[in-house]
Structure 1
Amino acid sequence: MVEAQQHHNSEVAERRWCVVTGGRGFAARHLVQMLLRLDTFCVRIADLAPSIIFDPSEQSGALGQAFQSGRASYVSADIRDKSQVLKACEGAEVVFHMAAPDSSINNHKLHQSVNVQGTVNVIESCVELKVKRLIYTSSPSVVFDGVNGTLNGDESLPYPTKHNDSYSATKADGEALVIKANGVNGLLTCCVRPSGIFGPGDNLFVPSLVNAARAGKSKFIIGDGNNMYDFTYVENVAHAHICAERALASDGPVALKAAGQAYFITNMEPIKIWEIMALILHGLGYERPKIKVPVSIIMPIAHLVEAIYTVLAPYGMKVLQLTPSRVRLLSCNRTFDCSKANDLLGYSPVVPLKEGLTRTIDSYSHLRAELSRRKDGPSKASIYLGSGRVSDILLWRDKRQTLATMLVLWAIYSYFVVSGHTIITAVSKLVVGASILLFLHAISPVKILGYTIKKVPESKFHLSKGMSHKVALLMTSSWNYAVNGLKSLCCGNEWLAYFKVVFSLILLDLLGAFSLQSLFTLVIPFIFVAFYVYENKEEEIDGLVLSIISIPSRLKSDAEGNIDTKTKTKSE
């Protein structure tokens, strides 16, 4: 028995090891499963969590068995810490670098630290430990400037001078570093750019569609709805990584030719983006998108939403889906040529698009429409308000907090608006009153008539470095945004920027027509009532709005039908 165990241990030690960074991510899990099925490598999963937690299917499946046999292991590693990366990559022959933050999070500091500095740490660790091959998971967004779409683009497309968002910019920087590292100390590298990853286990694409459907937003199409997209089923993404590793592991000119390159990876079946969304939504029992909204109308709204989120995020408002970068992505063409990956890596999809969609829809049976009608999830009104503290106040979830907010607003109204004081006078009186109250509170005894008077600690008046940094960053970014807008206008060719400014000024002019008294007596009470009513009469209001919005489409359809009838009559 002891000899058998020793033989098993020596056999495992002699096997080749690979590392998958971000190994508990969506696509990475599928790659790990595929590597274990192929039985070529022992797999070391590196991720942020202190230990691995198996899903029920994983515990009894190939992954659980691999951990029991020693063919798989887990290491807790933050790629921003080089010492942890060195530990994770020790003894590995291949590193699949898939770790990356959520692309929907608009946090440049996070993206820079993970996608750039983290990638530097991975490269340096591979060079120091004499790892043979490094495959980096990149993105087609590295060549997207946020304005111009791409039809059948190939790898000759350059990086733009300005990217759509910080995620794309930092992924491009990381990709360039990986390509530059090719050949250093014998390390062979390449980058794969999978487009529109989807499949079972995804926590972003399909759940976002379902959330939009439950919030009544899936009815709308941004743009004309004809823009083409390339999607990639997640198993094809994993297969592309395997193909890349095999190409780099080949002897002679094949490996040298494949190394130091970037490759677009798709299902090679372009489809209208709104069509694939419709197929998924319809498969889960939701309404297909059908109301077209021009980009010129939705983009200013997206900028307004982004500005509101910037202000209310510290108060619990969650990241919203309607952002300028997402509007651009949903309204342009994004198709790519995979000929290079086919020629140099031997890649071709192993799962067709139709089969991938069927598997995906089947895996999300728990998100089907009939289950959402049980009202066990957040309401549309709550989702619109960010499902945070703002939502709780306006929807009367916490009545004490709602009444306190209304009391504060009433005090502001009575003190600032009705009194007729100027802002300087009102603020001065407010500061004087607060100073008197604070002084009386400070000099009062600790106990009065048996009641303990809790003193206000000095720390309450201290502004933390983190908050100071946030305030300064918000002011600086707002200033830079305004200056960049002025620079674009000075060039004379940024028509979109011009219309944004005009729209903003018109909106400001309309808002300026409201007096403060009208705001406090009409708008604010309306907000407190409207969202509460909408939450309780959601279906009726949605039906009314949809019928109103669809009037132009019905009129246009009727007009076209009359013209066709007249034309047909004349021809007869």
Structure 2
Amino acid sequence: MMRILVTGGAGFIGSNLAAALLKDSRVGAVRVLDNLSTGSKENLEALFPDGRFEWMEGDIRDYDTCLKACNDVQAISHQAALGSVPRSIADPLTTNAVNITGTLNVFTAAKESGIKRIVYAASSSTYGDHPALPKKEENIGNPLSPYAVTKYVNELYAGVYAALYGLEPIGLRYFNIFGPRQNPRGPYAAVIPLFVKALLNNEAPVINGDGQHSRDFTFVDNAVAANIQALFAANKAAVNQVYNIACGAQTSLLELFNLLKTAAGSALMPDFGPARAGDVRHSLADISKAKELLGYDPLVPVNEGLMQTFEWYRSNRRFLGAWGMGNSQ
């Protein structure tokens, strides 16, 4: 009956993970640490009545906060980060402070608290300009954004802390995770919530570039399952490793929009804008390593995940209220 700390647990992936952990019989309590800069307590409202849920508001950039969060904890899922390539280009200093200094604080607090297992959110952006497809964990190129630099540094620190201090870090390189609770607001919102927003408002979305950019889009339930498998992995060969967490399938932005358009019953056509700086053209994961060492198996394919996601947004009018669609339940 472990007490698990989830940093960034009020965010998109973290809140889904916290909810799933509370349903796991091996988990005695879940403590969430979040500064609410990009997350929201709304994402956790169903968990507050659970006596095994612990809320802690604080910032991973503060080391003492991280130490307090690690008190009486047996494992950590480190999801807290400042995401988005465009945001990192606009504000590299804050991205560095949160993603590098914050992660170093979490790793060090874990070391000082005697916590061994840390599962941390890595990123497919680490592959940078390496041209080979599918992406294999050992083949990375030059990073194309400050965000990519920070996520690679996290991996380097994880390796050093494993070698020097005996930590058991496991990095999960996420490939374009999507699903319910993904923040649709703000200038750096992910593409799927923005497409859904446009379709529900009957407005043409903007696609950056020609629409042929492709990604290995991955439903959030698959990422949650990977985190739980990594937290409880008994195979010592699985620790101090990084893994691709994806579906192993490519979907272009145009294909993605057309799938969502079908779900919406819409005839809208997108508008096209300039390609974004720092974006790679194509991304596709080789997930064989995660399958072999973690037992990872993406059970929800992209098309099914998109249908679930669209219906969740359509049903949660309160979440959509910030889009000017009213506050009905």
Residue of structure 2 aligned with 1:278, choices 253, 258, 275:
258
1:154 matched residue in structure 2: 136
Moved more, 262-271 or 116-125: 262-271
- Check whether the contact 2:15–2:44 (CA below 8 A) recurs between aligned residues: no
For residue 268 of structure 1, give the secondary structure of its aligned residue in structure 2: coil
- Check whether the contact 1:149–1:334 (CA below 8 A) recurs between aligned residues: no
Compared with structure 1, are the counterparts of its residues 129 and 140 closer, same or farther at alpha carbon in structure 2 (3 Å cutoff)? same
2:13 matched residue in structure 1: 27
Q: Which has the higher strand share?
A: 2
- Check whether the contact 1:154–1:337 (CA below 8 A) recurs between aligned residues: yes
1:340 matched residue in structure 2: 289
2:117 matched residue in structure 1: 133
Residue of structure 2 aligned with 1:207, choices 183, 190, 193:
193
Superimposed CA distance per residue, residues 473-507 of structure 1 (whole angstroms, 9 cap, x where no aligned partner):
xxxxxxxxxxxxxxxxxxxxxxxxxxxxxxxxxxx
Give the Cα separation in 2 of the matches to 1:36 and 1:227: 37
Structure 1 position 37 matched with structure 2 position 23: yes
1:231 matched residue in structure 2: 217
Superimposed CA distance per residue, residues 397-434 of structure 1 (whole angstroms, 9 cap, x where no aligned partner):
xxxxxxxxxxxxxxxxxxxxxxxxxxxxxxxxxxxxxx
- Check whether the contact 2:35–2:57 (CA below 8 A) recurs between aligned residues: yes
Shift of 1:176: 1.6
1:521 matched residue in structure 2: none
Give the Cα separation in 2 of the matches to 1:273 and 1:340: 27
- Check whether the contact 1:100–1:115 (CA below 8 A) recurs between aligned residues: yes
Compared with structure 1, are the counterparts of its residues 215 and 270 closer, same or farther at alpha carbon in structure 2 (3 Å cutoff)? same
How many residues are aligned here?
310
Give the Cα separation in 2 of the matches to 1:139 and 1:210: 24
Structure 1 position 89 matched with structure 2 position 75: no
For residue 23 of structure 2, give the secondary structure of its aligned residue in structure 1: helix
- Check whether the contact 1:219–1:289 (CA below 8 A) recurs between aligned residues: no
1:222 matched residue in structure 2: 209
- Kindly report which structure 2 residues correspond to 1:162-311, keeping only aligned pairs within 5 A, or say none: 163-203=143-183, 204-205=189-190, 206-210=192-196, 218=205, 222-223=209-210, 225-247=211-233, 250=234, 254-255=235-236, 257-289=237-269, 298=274
Compared with structure 1, are the counterparts of its residues 288 and 22 closer, same or farther at alpha carbon in structure 2 (3 Å cutoff)? same
For residue 122 of structure 1, give the secondary structure of its aligned residue in structure 2: helix
Normalised by the length of structure 1, the TM-score is 0.50
* Structure with greater contact order relative to length (CA < 8 Å, sep ≥ 6): 2
- Kindly report which structure 2 residues correspond to 1:47-66, keeping only aligned pairs within 5 A, or say none: 47-49=34-36, 54-55=41-42, 59=45, 61=46, 63-66=47-50
Normalised by the length of structure 2, the TM-score is 0.84
- Give unpaired runs (5+ residues) of structure 2: 184-188
For residue 37 of structure 1, give the secondary structure of its aligned residue in structure 2: coil
For residue 136 of structure 1, give the secondary structure of its aligned residue in structure 2: strand
Shift of 1:221: 7.0
- Check whether the contact 2:214–2:250 (CA below 8 A) recurs between aligned residues: yes
- Give unpaired runs (5+ residues) of structure 1: 1-14, 300-322, 378-572
User: Radius of gyration: which is bigger?
Assistant: 1
Compared with structure 1, are the counterparts of its residues 58 and 135 closer, same or farther at alpha carbon in structure 2 (3 Å cutoff)? closer
The Cα RMSD (Å) is 2.9
Q: Which amino acid aligns with 2:99?
A: N
Aligned residues with identical type, % of pairs: 29
Residue of structure 1 aligned with 2:277, choices 320, 324, 329:
324
Q: Which has the higher helix share?
A: 1
